[in-house]
Structure 1
Amino acid sequence: MEGLFLPLLLMLVVAIPLVMGTRKQKRMMAQQQELQNSLAPGDRVMTTSGLYATVADASDETTIDLEIADGVVTTWLRQGVREKINPVVDDEDSTDEDDTALVEDSSLAEIDDKETETAKAAQVAPPLEHGKK
């Protein structure tokens, strides 16, 4: 009995991760299938190649028409759609009057400009020098 304990334990140690990985893969495939079946015209999507587009026609079972620019519609396999993207809402309702009301004093505007320039300068990374040691 003791001679079988170690081989059984080793088999369990190997089998458990395999079973768990298979379950995770099946769950991911089910989610992807659900996404592809739920696509409707007007949805914003991202393809597996990183292209953002709007669904133009989703009536075919295997392909989907994506509008990548105004008037430019391309046909893709449904499996090429990676995920739905929530549309970004731009707040264009702000007016110049609101901006000038916030910064009435010219000294405040100069301080703000200096802070903006400093922030822009801090975001620039130094160039990489490949091959030098």
Structure 2
Amino acid sequence: MFISSAFAQTAPAAAAEGGLMGSLTGMLPLVLMFVVLYFIMIRPQMKRQKEHRAMIDALAKGDEVVTAGGLLGKVANLSEGYVQLEIASGVQVQVQRSAVTQVLPKGTVK
């Protein structure tokens, strides 16, 4: 009888300790999935956004660009949120800066 009551007194402490370890072990896969998701999806996307923002900020008059709609043209004029592209001689269109997807090497657009 003495041994069983002594064992019973230590049982709640052992159960509480095991419960804490159990909950941490149960959360480990969730934390691991978030870390993998961050390095596979979130971080590369943030890097691409940062590169795109730098490219848009670096646009200058005379740059040859491609828009998201597939227009090729030379930058004729720049404003705060818009770019005026010359897509043919005397033909200019105005597009948002964020629509520019790529800056082409000089001499690509003729």
Question: Structure 2-normalised TM-score?
Answer: 0.71
Does residue 52 of the first structure (1) align with residue 63 of the second (2)? no
Partner of 2:49: 29
User: What amino acid maps onto 1:64 in structure 2?
Assistant: V
Partner of 1:64: 83
User: What amino acid maps onto 2:101 in structure 1?
Assistant: R
Bigger shift: 43-52 or 80-89?
Answer: 80-89
Count of matched residue pairs: 88
- Mapped to 2, the partners of 1:36 and 1:79 lie a distance apart of 7
Identity of aligned residues (%): 27
**TM-aligned CA deviation for residue 24 of structure 1:** 1.7
Tell me, what secondary structure is at the counterpart of 1:12?
Answer: helix
Structure having the larger proportion of residues in strand: 2
Tell me, what secondary structure is at the counterpart of 2:94?
Answer: strand
User: What amino acid maps onto 2:89 in structure 1?
Assistant: D
Tell me, what secondary structure is at the counterpart of 2:45?
Answer: helix
Partner of 2:4: none
Structure having the larger proportion of residues in helix: 2
Partner of 1:74: 93
**CA offsets, 1:57-94, max 9 Å, x none?**
11x110010001111011000011001011347xxxxx
Which segments of structure 1 move beyond 6 Å, counting only runs of 4 or more?
Answer: none
Larger radius of gyration: 2
Tell me, what secondary structure is at the counterpart of 1:87?
Answer: coil
Q: Which structure has the higher relative contact order (CA within 8 Å, separation 6+)?
A: 2
- Mapped to 2, the partners of 1:69 and 1:7 lie a distance apart of 63
Tell me, what secondary structure is at the counterpart of 2:60?
Answer: coil
Partner of 2:62: 42
Does residue 86 of the first structure (1) align with residue 100 of the second (2)? no
Stretches of structure 2 that go unaligned for 5 or more consecutive residues are 1-17
Tell me, what secondary structure is at the counterpart of 1:42?
Answer: coil
Stretches of structure 1 that go unaligned for 5 or more consecutive residues are 90-133
